[in-house]
Protein backbone atom coordinates (compact mmCIF):
# COMPACT_ATOMS: atom_id res chain seq x y z
CA UNK A 1 0.00 0.00 0.00
CA UNK A 2 2.75 2.57 0.77
CA UNK A 3 4.33 1.76 -2.61
CA UNK A 4 1.08 2.59 -4.41
CA UNK A 5 0.80 5.94 -2.62
CA UNK A 6 4.44 6.78 -3.36
CA UNK A 7 4.06 5.81 -7.02
CA UNK A 8 0.94 7.99 -7.36
CA UNK A 9 2.70 10.96 -5.77
CA UNK A 10 5.72 10.50 -8.05
CA UNK A 11 3.47 10.19 -11.13
CA UNK A 12 1.65 13.43 -10.31
CA UNK A 13 4.75 15.30 -9.10
CA UNK A 14 4.66 17.78 -12.02
CA UNK A 15 1.00 18.56 -11.26
CA UNK A 16 1.79 19.03 -7.58
CA UNK A 17 4.71 21.36 -8.32
CA UNK A 18 2.76 23.38 -10.89
CA UNK A 19 -0.53 23.72 -9.02
CA UNK A 20 -0.15 27.50 -8.55
CA UNK A 21 0.92 28.29 -12.12
CA UNK A 22 -1.13 30.29 -14.57
CA UNK A 23 -1.46 27.21 -16.83
CA UNK A 24 -1.88 24.54 -14.14
CA UNK A 25 -4.70 22.84 -16.05
CA UNK A 26 -2.44 22.25 -19.06
CA UNK A 27 0.30 20.83 -16.86
CA UNK A 28 -2.21 18.50 -15.23
CA UNK A 29 -3.61 17.30 -18.55
CA UNK A 30 -0.18 16.59 -20.02
CA UNK A 31 0.77 14.80 -16.82
CA UNK A 32 -2.45 12.79 -16.76
CA UNK A 33 -2.57 11.69 -20.41
CA UNK A 34 1.13 11.62 -21.39
CA UNK A 35 2.77 11.04 -18.02
CA UNK A 36 2.95 7.29 -18.58
CA UNK A 37 5.56 7.99 -21.25
CA UNK A 38 8.84 9.14 -19.79
CA UNK A 39 9.03 12.03 -22.27
CA UNK A 40 5.54 13.29 -21.35
CA UNK A 41 6.37 13.17 -17.65
CA UNK A 42 9.65 15.07 -18.21
CA UNK A 43 7.88 17.68 -20.36
CA UNK A 44 5.22 18.20 -17.67
CA UNK A 45 7.91 18.43 -14.98
CA UNK A 46 9.91 20.97 -17.01
CA UNK A 47 6.76 22.99 -17.71
CA UNK A 48 5.87 23.00 -14.01
CA UNK A 49 9.35 24.20 -13.01
CA UNK A 50 9.65 27.06 -15.50
CA UNK A 51 8.76 30.57 -14.44
CA UNK A 52 5.63 32.30 -15.66
CA UNK A 53 6.39 35.08 -18.15
CA UNK A 54 5.99 38.56 -16.78
CA UNK A 55 3.39 40.72 -18.38
CA UNK A 56 4.54 44.16 -19.58
CA UNK A 57 3.24 47.12 -17.61
CA UNK A 58 1.88 50.06 -19.54
CA UNK A 59 1.96 53.46 -17.88
CA UNK A 60 -0.42 56.10 -19.15
CA UNK A 61 1.09 59.53 -18.78
CA UNK A 62 -1.00 62.22 -17.18
CA UNK A 63 -0.33 65.92 -17.28
CA UNK A 64 3.30 65.66 -16.12
CA UNK A 65 6.44 64.08 -17.51
CA UNK A 66 8.04 60.76 -16.59
CA UNK A 67 11.78 60.25 -16.36
CA UNK A 68 13.12 57.75 -18.88
CA UNK A 69 15.77 56.51 -16.43
CA UNK A 70 14.04 56.14 -13.07
CA UNK A 71 10.37 56.29 -14.15
CA UNK A 72 9.28 58.83 -11.54
CA UNK A 73 6.78 61.53 -12.35
CA UNK A 74 7.94 65.12 -12.34
CA UNK A 75 5.95 68.32 -12.15
CA UNK A 76 4.58 69.86 -15.30
CA UNK A 77 7.10 72.13 -17.00
CA UNK A 78 10.20 70.63 -15.35
CA UNK A 79 13.13 69.97 -17.63
CA UNK A 80 15.08 67.74 -15.23
CA UNK A 81 14.02 64.85 -13.01
CA UNK A 82 13.84 65.76 -9.33
CA UNK A 83 14.87 62.23 -8.29
CA UNK A 84 17.88 61.49 -10.50
CA UNK A 85 18.67 64.85 -12.14
CA UNK A 86 18.56 63.65 -15.74
CA UNK A 87 16.69 65.47 -18.50
CA UNK A 88 13.03 64.54 -18.74
pLDDT digit string, tens, across residues 25-82: 999 999 999 999 999 999 999 999 998 887 776 666 555 667 777 777 777 777 787 7
- Residue 36 is predicted with a pLDDT of 94
- Residue 82 is predicted with a pLDDT of 75
Give pLDDT tens digits for 5-32: 999 999 999 999 999 999 999 999 999 9
Q: Whole-prediction pTM value?
A: 0.60
Give the chain's count of helices (H) and strands (E). 4, 2
| Number of C-beta neighbours around residue 81 at 10 A | 20
Residue 31 phi/psi, 5° resolution?
Answer: -65, -40
- Residue 35 is predicted with a pLDDT of 95
- Residue 30 is predicted with a pLDDT of 97
Amino acid sequence: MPFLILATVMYFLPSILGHNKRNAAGIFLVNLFLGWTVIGWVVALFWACTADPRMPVMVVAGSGHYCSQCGRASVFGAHYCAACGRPV
